Amino acid sequence: MTTIQKKTVDPTAHLTAEDIEMLGKELDEIRQEILDDRGERDARYIRTVIKSQRGLEAASRAVLLFSIFPPAWVAGTAGLSVAKILENMEIGHNVMHGQWDWMRDPKIHSTTWEWDNASPSDQWKHGHNELHHTYTNVVGKDNDLGYGIMRVDEEQRWVPFYLAQPLWNFINACFFEYGIAAYDLELGKNLAIPKEKRSADFKARAKQTLNKIRQQATKDYLVHPALSIPTGSFVPTLAANFTANLVRNLWTHSVIMCGHFPEGVETFEKKSIDGETRGEWYLRQMLGSANISGGPALHMATGNLSFQIEHHLYPDLPSNRYAEIAPKVRAVFEKYELNYHTASMPKQVYSAWHKIVRLSLPNGWLEDTNAKNAPAQLAKLYKMTTGGPKVRRAIEARSRQERRRREDAA
């Protein structure tokens, strides 16, 4: 994930400043078409989704009252998993983006919505809407890139600690909602401050998050299992709720990874956004996001984040419209000869995980390794892991040299 400014080939080099402003105008026009047409059909859509989701959740929880019986457990758990995914993705995420604020319905409004997730909506909106959506893929500004906790860029010096990052990432995926809550609290940064010096604001927000987690856990792991006691289903219901949360966490983590992590998605230097115009902002969003191709069910389950590009260009347009404008947006990409990054879910998930594994190893290690040289490569990795910084630097330098020689020969 080398930033676009440090790459040898800049995919935007062929665009003049006028091109970029024209591109911005064309994207503004697409937005305006939807705003002019937005109305009853959209309102009906979100209300139907909300009603169906609540119906599905209530029915699944009712079935789980009898979860001692395996078919009930399976059906209830599956239903609850889907309900939680819908609630977080197509409803919660999008409502909190303000996509439905135009309806002026106080019950479906970004300022009043609270979601079925560990992170309180206020804090999530700050971390996600303000930081991530404004500074998308700007290194040092957009924490979603994962720099704080992982090695996501060749430029970051490799240390043995990173070998475990595929494992960290998997654990983060399983407990993703708590990961998000910790992230919105900027827990790492704040815990590094001595307890007595932490800000009152942080303490208040931490309390708010703990309170939310307590309520969420009470519901899933106490109240509903307790309601199942009459059929002897306390433990199966608890297990079902845990499973549904796990499924939701793994799914949302995968979708989020597909949005900005696949190979080929661009990142940007902090200085590059100084005085950025609207056209340049659009261009950054275009290059910094990746779509997932698939059918309507997939789009619904990802909260239409399968149209990550469209979502990043127009985060406040109703999600049901992204599919409709995708061909127009794609035409703009083609007109300005830019790469519209889209692939199937398995491909994008693989690509994102491949990047995490690749960067968990020293630069070039994975690419250089084949069946023949595997023992030698492993020995090298062992040395780099157990040796000190000097050893690592020496081996890295030698590897770079060898690679250059090979390239010259080819």
Partner 1 sequence: MTDMLIRPAAPARTLRHRLTRFAEAATTPLLPADYLDLVAPLRSGTDLRARIVSVEPETRDAATIVLKPGADWAGHVPGQYLRIGIDVDGVREWRAYSLTHGPRADGLISITVKAVPDGKVSNHLVHAARPGTLVHLEQAAGDFVLAEQPGKLLFVTAGSGVTPVIGMLRNLFPVADSGVVDLPRSADLDIVVVHVAPSEPDSIFIDNLRELDHHGAVRLVPRYDDQHGLLDVNDLTGLVPDLAERTTYACGPSGLLDALTEHHERAGLTLFTEQFRAGFVEAGEGGTLTLADGTTVAADGGTPLLDVAEAAGALMPSGCRMGVCFGCVLPLKEGAVRDLRNGAITTVDPISAGAGGVPIQTCINAAAGDCHLGEKR
Stretch that binds partner 1, among 13-21, 154-162, 223-231, 264-272 (CB under 8 A): 223-231
Site string for partner 1, 182-201 (x = CB under 8 A): --------------------
Q: How many residues bind partner 1 (CB under 8 A)?
A: 48
What number of CA atoms fall less than 13 Å from residue 7's CA on the CB side?
Answer: 16
3-class DSSP assignment, residue 293:
strand
Q: Which of residues 26-45 bind partner 1 (CB under 8 A)?
A: 28, 32, 35, 38-44
Q: How many CB atoms lie within 10 A of CB 342?
A: 20
- 8 Å CB contact between 293 and 387: no
Distance CA 51, CA 160 (A): 50
In the list 93, 151, 205, 212, the residue contacting partner 1 (rule: CB under 8 A) is 212
Q: Does 107 bind partner 1 (CB under 8 A)?
A: yes
Per CB under 8 A, which region of 102-110, 232-240, 286-294, 327-335 contacts partner 1?
Answer: 102-110
The structure tokens 């309900």 sit at 83
Stretch that binds partner 1, among 10-18, 99-107, 195-203, 364-372 (CB under 8 A): 99-107
**Residue among 43 and 78 whose Cβ is closer to partner 1:** 43
The whole-angstrom separation of Cα 241 and Cα 258 is 26
Give me 293's structure tokens: 């191709």
Q: Are 127 and 183 in contact (CB under 8 A)?
A: yes
Maximum Cα–Cα distance for the chain, whole Å?
75
The one among 19, 21, 26, 101 contacting partner 1 by CB under 8 A: 101
At residue 234, φ and ψ (nearest 5 deg) are -55, -55
Question: Of 300, 298, 308, 184, which is closest to residue 256 (Cα–Cα)?
Answer: 308
Question: Which residue, chain included where needed, has tokens 């399968």?
Answer: 306
In terms of DSSP bridges, do strands 291-293 and 342-344 run parallel, antiparallel, or are they unpaired?
Answer: parallel
Question: Which of 21, 56, 59, 102 forms a contact with partner 1 (CB under 8 A)?
Answer: 102
Q: How far is the CB of 399 from partner 1 (least distance, A)?
A: 42
Q: Does 54 bind partner 1 (CB under 8 A)?
A: yes
When the beta carbons of 317 and 361 are compared against partner 1, the nearer one is: 317
Binding segment (CB under 8 A) for partner 1, from list 129-137, 238-246, 297-305, 366-374: 129-137
Helices (H) and strands (E) in the chain, counts: 20, 2
Indicate the residue among 107 and 393 with the shorter CB distance to partner 1: 107
User: Which of the 8 DSSP states describes residue 105?
Assistant: -
Asked if 58 interacts with partner 1 (CB under 8 A), we say: yes
Interacting residues with partner 1 (CB under 8 A): 28, 32, 35, 38-44, 51, 54-55, 58, 97-98, 101-105, 107, 109-112, 114-116, 125-126, 129-130, 133-134, 212, 215-216, 218-219, 222-224, 227, 278, 281, 315-316
